[in-house]
Structure formats: C-alpha cells, structure tokens
A = this chain, B = another copy of it.
Amino acid sequence: MKPSPDASGSLAAVAVDRDVEAAGPSRKASAKRPSKYRPSRIREKNHECILAAAEQEFALQGFQGTTIQKIAERAGLPKSNVLYYFSNKQRIYHTLFEDIMQRWNNVFSEIKPEDDPAEALAKFIRVKVELSRTHPIASRLFATEIIQGAPFLKDHLRTNMRDWVRDRAQVIQQWIDAGRMTAVDPVQLIFLIWSSTQHYADFQMQILMVENKAEYEQRDFDHAADFLVGVILRGCGLVPPSVPRA
C-alpha cells in the first residue's frame, strides 16, 4: 500500500509501476543508453493497456470467466506479454482493486459535525454520481466482486470500509442529535446513497434500454443527480439547495 506518485486521472494510468519488483535493480541506467528510448516508457504503456483491458474483461465476465487470452487480445499484445508483466491472473485482478480502492479513498473527503448537512450530503451524492459517470467500468468491476461474495475484498470491507462508514455515520448522528435533520438511520442512509448512485453505472444497460437511449450523457447524469439530491435531502428533512428543474 505504498503511496504512488500518480497525478493522472486516467483509469489505468494510476496503476503503473506496481509490478516492477521483478525487473531487477537497473532503473537509473536510462541516461547511459542514448540509442534506446527509455524502456520504462514501453513498460508503462503496456502496463496501462493491460490493466485497462483487464478491467473491461473482468467487469464483463468476472474473475473466473475472464481469460488471459481475451485480455491480451483487447490490449493488442501477445498473451505471453501479459504474463510477462503480471505473473498470473490474480495479480492483475489485485492490482486493479488496489487502484480502485485508492481512487475511491482519494475522492471522498471528510465530513465534519460543523458542516452543513444539506451541503455535505448533496456533495456526497453528486460526487458519487460523477464517479459513476467517469468510472463506470470500475464500478461494475467492484459490483461484480461484491455480488460474488467479495472473495478478494472481504478484508478491506471489514476494516477500512467499516471504519469509513462508522466515521461518517457518527457525524450524521451528531447532526440528528443537534436537530439539524430528521432522525434516520445514518448507516442505512449511506447505503441508500451508495446504491442509488452506483445504479447509474452498474445497471446502465437496463436504464438505457428502459429509457430507449443509445448512451447516457452528461445532462442525464446531472438530471439523475438533481433528482437524487432532491428526494434524499427532502427525505432527511433538509431543504434542498435550489435545483433547476425543467
């Protein structure tokens, strides 16, 4: 869990240079070889391609259903190269979730008892909807993992995520105790926000088919976020901030 120096917002780019411990110590030799372009560039690029391809395949077929062959084809590489960068299938899967959970943690800022409940919850909902829009595949990958019983993420759920929920729930409870919002179960409220926002990524196909659309656009996500902020904040006894409605 070393902090990696990623300033990129790209999906796969975050995960570069995670599997280099097997490559040996010769890393600073790049300046000594002018004829070759830096090999780490190729390495990074292939890393990216493989992880992006793997994310799609794993999200579509699950862990067991995904073959290294398919990942290689989608990445445009020979199958052997995939196994050169990642020693086996599990390692690819693990690397993906390290990145996803790290990004997840980075996105969600703290909430404090002195914050305005309406503002804080609205921001939480909007950030989650935005995450569904920008990283739908990661969301589906996470969902598949949980549906299948979280064989790889169980530990993370019962440690990091439990603490995360407990902290937020405590703040919400303080808002309730201070009479600043309706008394609702804070943990259930977090579940409600999770489920309703993730739905736009995980069940996108159902939404598209039912709404008879080819793809979900920015304005559709904005509309969904406005709806959710309105209903949930009203459901918590919080006056929603002025929401433009057609």
Interface of A toward B, CB cutoff 8 Å: 59-66, 140, 143-144, 146-150, 154, 157-158, 161-162, 165, 182-185, 187-189, 191-192, 194-196, 198-199, 202-203, 205-207, 209-212, 223-224, 227-228, 230-237, 245
Contacts and interface: CB of A to CB of B under 8 A. Distances in A.
Contacts of A184: 227, 230-231
A146 B230 contact: no
**For the complex, would chain A's binding face be called helix, strand, loop or mixed by DSSP majority?**
helix
A218 to B, nearest CB: 16
A147 B140 contact: yes
Given A61-B64, A162-B210, A146 B192 contact: no
Contact of A191 (B207, B230, B232): B207
Contact of A203 (B65, B66, B147): B147
Given A185-B223, A196-B195, A209 B161 contact: yes
A224 B235 CA distance: 15
